[in-house]
Structure 1
Amino acid sequence: MNDLQTPADAPLKHSGPGVASFVLVVFFGLLLLAMFGYAGYLELNTPGGVDEESVEAIVAGMVMIFSIAAMFVAFVLGVIGLFVGRRKRLFAWLGAAMSGLLLLFTFLIFALGMAQG
């Protein structure tokens, strides 16, 4: 049988976009958290503060931007996974919720940093 002819009592599979969303949010969420920690470490351990044009600062910033873009992709995939027909939606909910919360947290941290200086 193909997917269009599955019986009603067959166990449901997980949503593909939902699983992709969850995997993206876990990987890039941890990477983003690591970059925030690394940027804080650089700021605290560099006399006079981090030079914004240093290689370390540029790489950390680019990784953060790439991770934020991946969070947007994870959020969109999570929302798409919620509307895929006859599939389990657990990973779609987790991916959409976690990426949305991480995006909100990230923008709050950036707003706090901009307000301070």
Structure 2
Amino acid sequence: MLTQQTQKAIAILHDIAGHQALAVESYHITPDELAVMLARLERHKIVNRIPGASADKETSYQLCRPLNDISLLDVLEATGEHLNCNHPTTEAFYSRYGRVASKLGVVNHMTRLYLSEIKLVDC
């Protein structure tokens, strides 16, 4: 349901909050990808660069507000990404997204329901 880019952005934000750099390796984020992602997050005032720190490392940034105040919508707007609601929710989905799975599952279900009611003749 979450795009790869959204997952990467969330992982980067968790790294910044935890003062570590694990996302780059675990998500195979290239230096260019990281720079673009950090710039987008900074432009949307989710992160800011620590004065004097280089712009190419996630450890050079800090959150503008606590992680628990940053929403999925904030990340989607900053990255320009979307939710993939074109498949039914599976058990693997619930395993992957843990605590937020039930909320995302409802979003997925309702989106699919509303989309099924839009007929092409009305478009």
TM-score tier after normalising by the smaller chain length: under 0.3
Length-normalised TM-score, structure 1: 0.27
What's the TM-score once normalised by structure 2's chain length? 0.26
Higher fraction of strand: 2
Higher helix share: 1
